[in-house]
Structure 1
Amino acid sequence: MASKAKIEKQKRNARLVQKYAEKRKQLKEEGDWAALDALPRNSSPTRLRRLCALTGRPRGVYRKFQISRIMLRDMALDGLIPGMKKASW
């Protein structure tokens, strides 16, 4: 499980990306690379990491559910995800 500080840092970076998104888009269209370099590094969407919304686990996260594979399995077995059930054949 990721530390709370790591999860909060990720949230701050996401807000920063959202704040500078329009400005970054405008500077890219103009081709003003010097001004783009002057923006904060963490305002780039490439620097965001997808984390599990429940545990903060950085690997094995499903985009559709925003949770890790482990939590997805646990929640599916408990019946918390509608329409998902254990396969049997």
Structure 2
Amino acid sequence: MARKSLIQREIKRQKLEQEYRWIRRSSKKEIKQVSSLSERWKIHGKLQSSPRNSAPTRLHRRCFSTGRSRANYRDFRLSRHILRDMVHACLLPGATRSSW
């Protein structure tokens, strides 16, 4: 089980990313449209002034049941430990040993 503080930090990052998503996308579109370098620097400064944790690349996928950040399978949203236990217990229909 992951520490609860790490899980809460990830939730906070997700909220920030949702909040600043529109601002970041519109700034990136403006940078592509503007031709002068000075205008690009101004828009880039506005983009840099947003919080660092609002960037989508700072988000991590976490296991749905344990909160583990490593070795997650996107299809199941589970870490490899939990996925293996659930497949052996026949809790995931259609999952066989060769498919994971």
Settle same-fold status: TM greater than 0.5. Answer: yes
Aligned residue for 1:7? 7
User: After TM superposition, what 4+ stretches of structure 1 lie above 6 angstroms from structure 2?
Assistant: none
Aligned counterpart, 2:81: 70
The two structures, once aligned, show a CA RMSD in angstroms of 1.2
- AA partner of residue 11 (structure 1): I
Matched AA of 1:83: G
Instruction: Return 5+ residue gaps in structure 2 as ranges.
Output: 32-42
2:45 alignment partner in structure 1? 34
Q: Is 1:55 aligned with 2:55? A: no
Structure 2 match to 1:85: 96
SS at the partner of 1:46? Answer: helix
Letter in 1 for 2:3: S
Give unmatched runs, 5+ long, in structure 1: none
Aligned residues: 87
Structure richer in helix, relative to its length: 2
Normalised TM-score (structure 1): 0.88
Give the Cα separation in 2 of the matches to 1:70 and 1:77.
Answer: 11
TM-score, with structure 2 as normaliser: 0.80
Does the 8 Å CA contact 1:51/1:59 hold for their aligned counterparts? yes
Give the counterpart letter for 1:61 in structure 2: N
Please give the alpha-carbon distance, in whole angstroms, between the structure 2 residues aligned to 1:85 and 1:38: 48
1:44 match? 55
- Report deviation, 1:85: 2.8
Q: Give the 3-state SS of the residue equivalent to 2:53 in structure 1.
A: helix
Identity among equivalent pairs (%): 43
